[in-house]
Structure 1
Amino acid sequence: MITTASTSAETEVRVGLDHIEKYEPEITSLITVRQDEAIAEARRLDEQVENGVWPGPLYGMTLTVKDNFDVAGTPTTNGTAFAYAPQASEDCFVIDRVKEAGAVILGKANQSEYCQSVTNQNVHHGSCRNPWGLDRIAGGSSGGSAAGVAARIATASIGSDSGGSIRIPASLNGVVGLRPSAGRLSNRRTASTRVATFTVGGPLARTAVDAARLFHAMDAYDPADVTSVDRRRDHTLALGREGLRGLRIGVPTNYFMDGVDSEILAAVNAAIGTLGDLGAEITDVHVPGAEDCRTHFYPMVTANFFALYGEYLDRPAEDLDPEVVMSLEHGRSVTATQFAEAAMYRQSFIRNLENLFDDIDVFVCPTVPIATPRLGKLEHSEMMDVSRNNFVQPFAGIPAISIPCGLRSDGMPIGLQMTAGYWKDTVLLNAAIAFQNATSFHTQRPALIG
């Protein structure tokens, strides 16, 4: 674990606040800024260092936090027009963990309302724009988290992912995004103890090393969270020094590579070649059930969201986001038989994937298989195209990571997604670190920030 900081916490906070002043009017990545609180917290950390007390492994790291996590003294909106907590009374579990590790939170990140869209075009808090192309979506639902990291507003961010909400914006904004295994991170995010079945929190960062640092700080059993798993956690990082010798990587022959944009496919194939050069064993694989996953996943996830947020549909029409309405209406229409059949399919699907991971360690694919859409209304089919490679992982509860692997000719980032077996999160982080040690895609900057 890296435990050094090159500058003081206050210096890093003021750099972030300066970037907020410069770039936030263009990208709208934040809902709330914690300027005074962040400066005060950073000074306390720096005073500890001056007194010979080490603040923790995240000292020097600045964060933004998706606005569905409680940060004490700050509103929690979940992207809505109202605040669930006008002023949160305490930090949720993962926020307490990162603060104890020495990180400073600069603000609450913009998100799709109720985490219901892949676009992060929020009718209440403004559409989050992609720093790589201000006419393009940042992706959702954790778009503000990814855009803020890409614009150097913060070192990293904490997002959440139900069906690609960390990995999609990570890919579209050229940053790293990890969806952890179900049960690794606490899902107690707000004063409400209810949480979507397939949702997990996770880190976004410019580098895989920083993503690993943040993940390991949050990764702990929470006995007060019924979704938290009490199991040994491996925090060993190879930091890429040994390459990827012996890592068995599968390239899907079905579904994941179908209909992929030609430039994205070329970049992903080149990245697979790099992984092979680093010592990984590359083989073709068939991912069983991938073609049918969305058919069964979508009814379950939308029904779950309707159970959580269905009262939204009773609000005045002028307060409603059409994308949220579409998702919740679909959830309301799911029958008990449809839900039960999907749940039964899920059991066999998970078993088949377990068998697949007996033969490989990781399988790879494009995170987003189409060019980054422009801002504006997206058809349902286009939203499904954006997210199509991101359903398998939440449905099975397994981890996946998106890492930058190139740029399209339009200047927009391309993401490589790696998926591993349950509880193999560190395998993904080590592979991502090794890839970034051998490439420079993660060092590229949007033209917006020079």
Structure 2
Amino acid sequence: MDLTELSSLIYAKQVSSEEVTRRYLDRIEMYDGVLNSFITVCSEEVVKAAQVADHDMALGRATGVLHGIPFALKDVFWTQGVRTTAGSKQLENDVPTTDAHVWTRLKHAGALLLGKTNMHEFAYGTTTENPHYGATHNPWDLMRIAGGSSGGSAAAVAAELAPASLGTDTGGSIRIPAACSGVVGLKPTFGLVSKQGVVPLAFSLDHVGPITRSVRDAALLLQLIAGYDPQDSTSVRSQNEQYDRMIGNSLSGLRIGYNESFFFAQTDPQIEERTREVLTFCSELGAQVESVEISNLSDGAFAQNVVIASEALYLHKEWMAETPERYGADVYKRLASGSQYTGVDYAHALDVRLHLQRVWEELFSHIDVLISPTIPFLATPIGDREVAVCDVMQPIRSNLTRFTNPFNLCGLPALSIPCGYSKEGLPIGVQVVGKPFSEALLLQVGAWIEQGYPTRIPPLFD
């Protein structure tokens, strides 16, 4: 059940907030022992909040569209009175005294805090194999990764342990777990959603966005959290949008591009096949689908690595000097790698970023959206470090971001939508990308894909 359905039922008084909340808590108790999608569950607090919400509803004092709906947050968002660990030992006992800007907005709309979800430590990884809080397991195959870094959020939403969540995305950390777990993940335009009160990884690459069961829910949440925030130096002023306003509009005449040389190279054949099916499906709905060339995309991987490593090291340098033992080995090694880059390397990376921004600007003057696979291979077994794709061994961590990080580097909005399942029964995701502030258009296209490729609850959790 998605947010839209829950909201209608609560407003019609067909179910109470307490009933809904206890249902999710029961499912967490029943299933999260094997899924490990939560770090903190606010059991007592959320039931009390639900009872207050029901009392207010009875008196005609509904707060907003999310009134009385329990909500999960990636454990990187400040929550007043509830610890925010960022999946780390450095912050294991850190209890914020204020809320993140986006959580304040969701609370004003009536949302209740169900709990904080598991993640890759400090969001610096793609698998959510956390050495401190344990790995999050894929709800479609418990032996496989849920993706990362927002793996707990995607797994919880897929398994219906939470109706929706917020994640963060620095190189793909919303879209990768969305693809692995078979849910919707939206990375908005850079600066559209405030990062105030969000533990940072790389300040010029971090994005905040929704992870949901439906495209309409993603539009609803974006409506609630988007907007200028003077407390966030990267926040941008944009026109007020109604993000669901184009859902249901025809795709007739829409110009959709796809690129073969980059996005189909060294890609699992099942993922390529599903992506091509989606392109054909859109063409049958009236879209004009064409192959496009995109230059210098491979340069983006270098620039992304330099920027994220340099900015992350800058943010962590004091802890690394004072309490290095409190990091997991993989994240400490990744952070330390930032020291190999010079100011010249960082300047070079910024130059590449500017060039690629011009490349995307030119491309989106000829097409409306780009469609690609979200990730190049299926969710891999937990513990594996390499995967064979087209008979070539690839490192998992760096290749999981291969199709997502170009859009972090340049701040473009990108939406991952489930588009069917592999022969192993694993979800496959397709990515819809557009020019800055084209979220309503992406959601329009995503809603049609969603209609053509319905999702379901993983059999283990049905």
TM-score for the superposition, normalised by structure 1: 0.95
Deviations 1:180-205 (A, max 9, x none): 10011101124x78962200111001
Report the residue type matching 1:254 in the other structure.
S
1:426 partnered with 2:447:
no
Given candidates 172, 182, 188, the residue that maps to 1:164 is 172
1:5 partnered with 2:13:
no
Q: CA deviation at 1:37?
A: 1.5
* 1:408 paired residue number: 422
**Contact in 1 for aligned 2:324/2:332 (Cα 8 Å):** no
Unaligned runs of 5+ in 1: none
Report the residue type matching 2:17 in the other structure.
A
* 1:200 paired residue number: 207
Q: Are the structure 2 counterparts of residues 125 and 84 from structure 1 closer, same or farther at C-alpha, using a change threshold of 3 Å?
A: closer
Aligned 1:201-216 pairs, distance under 5 A = 201-216=208-223
1:58 partnered with 2:70:
no
Given candidates 17, 28, 32, the residue that maps to 1:20 is 28
Instruction: Decide which moves more: 421-430 or 234-243.
Output: 234-243
Cα distance in 2 for partners of 1:309, 1:430 equals: 40
1:445 partnered with 2:457:
yes
* 1:232 paired residue number: 239
Aligned 1:120-159 pairs, distance under 5 A = 120-159=128-167
1:395 partnered with 2:395:
no
Secondary structure of the residue that 2:173 maps to in structure 1? coil
Cα distance in 1 for partners of 2:100, 2:243 equals: 26
* 1:300 paired residue number: 307
Aligned 1:2-401 pairs, distance under 5 A = 4-6=7-9, 7-59=15-67, 61-83=69-91, 86-190=94-198, 196-238=203-245, 240-314=247-321, 319-379=326-386, 381-401=395-415
Report the residue type matching 1:421 in the other structure.
K
Cα distance in 1 for partners of 2:330, 2:294 equals: 31
Cα distance in 1 for partners of 2:353, 2:326 equals: 35
Instruction: Decide which moves more: 369-378 or 91-100.
Output: 369-378
Secondary structure of the residue that 2:459 maps to in structure 1? coil
Secondary structure of the residue that 1:349 maps to in structure 2? helix
Q: Are the structure 2 counterparts of residues 242 and 323 from structure 1 closer, same or farther at C-alpha, using a change threshold of 3 Å?
A: same
Q: Which runs of 4+ in 1 moved over 4 A?
A: 1-4, 192-195, 315-318
What fraction of aligned residue pairs are identical, expressed as a percent? 34
**Contact in 2 for aligned 1:365/1:418 (Cα 8 Å):** yes
Secondary structure of the residue that 2:72 maps to in structure 1? strand
Cα distance in 2 for partners of 1:415, 1:128 equals: 19
Deviations 1:357-387 (A, max 9, x none): 0111110111011121100041582212211
Instruction: Decide which moves more: 421-430 or 162-171.
Output: 421-430
Report the residue type matching 2:442 in the other structure.
L
Q: CA deviation at 1:135?
A: 0.4
Deviations 1:334-354 (A, max 9, x none): 111111011112111101111
When the two structures are aligned, how many residues end up with a matched partner? Answer: 447
Q: CA deviation at 1:398?
A: 0.6
Report the residue type matching 1:336 in the other structure.
G
Deviations 1:259-301 (A, max 9, x none): 1111111111111222222222211111232122101211111
Instruction: Decide which moves more: 168-177 or 286-295.
Output: 286-295
Report the residue type matching 1:230 in the other structure.
R
Cα distance in 2 for partners of 1:246, 1:108 equals: 43
Deviations 1:80-131 (A, max 9, x none): 1142763221211100000111122200010111111111000001111111
Deviations 1:208-228 (A, max 9, x none): 111111111111211111111
Cα distance in 1 for partners of 2:430, 2:421 equals: 11
Instruction: Decide which moves more: 99-108 or 317-326.
Output: 317-326
Cα distance in 2 for partners of 1:54, 1:39 equals: 17
**Contact in 1 for aligned 2:166/2:208 (Cα 8 Å):** yes
Secondary structure of the residue that 1:182 maps to in structure 2? coil
**Contact in 1 for aligned 2:254/2:288 (Cα 8 Å):** yes
Cα distance in 2 for partners of 1:197, 1:365 equals: 24
Report the residue type matching 2:445 in the other structure.
A
Q: CA deviation at 1:302?
A: 0.9
Report the residue type matching 1:169 in the other structure.
P
Q: Are the structure 2 counterparts of residues 309 and 68 from structure 1 closer, same or farther at C-alpha, using a change threshold of 3 Å?
A: same
Cα distance in 1 for partners of 2:73, 2:412 equals: 23
**Contact in 2 for aligned 1:145/1:158 (Cα 8 Å):** yes
* 2:390 paired residue number: none
Q: CA deviation at 1:58?
A: 1.9
Secondary structure of the residue that 1:204 maps to in structure 2? strand
CA RMSD across the alignment? 1.9
**Contact in 2 for aligned 1:240/1:437 (Cα 8 Å):** no
Unaligned runs of 5+ in 2: 10-14, 387-393
Cα distance in 2 for partners of 1:194, 1:411 equals: 33
Q: Are the structure 2 counterparts of residues 260 and 60 from structure 1 closer, same or farther at C-alpha, using a change threshold of 3 Å?
A: farther
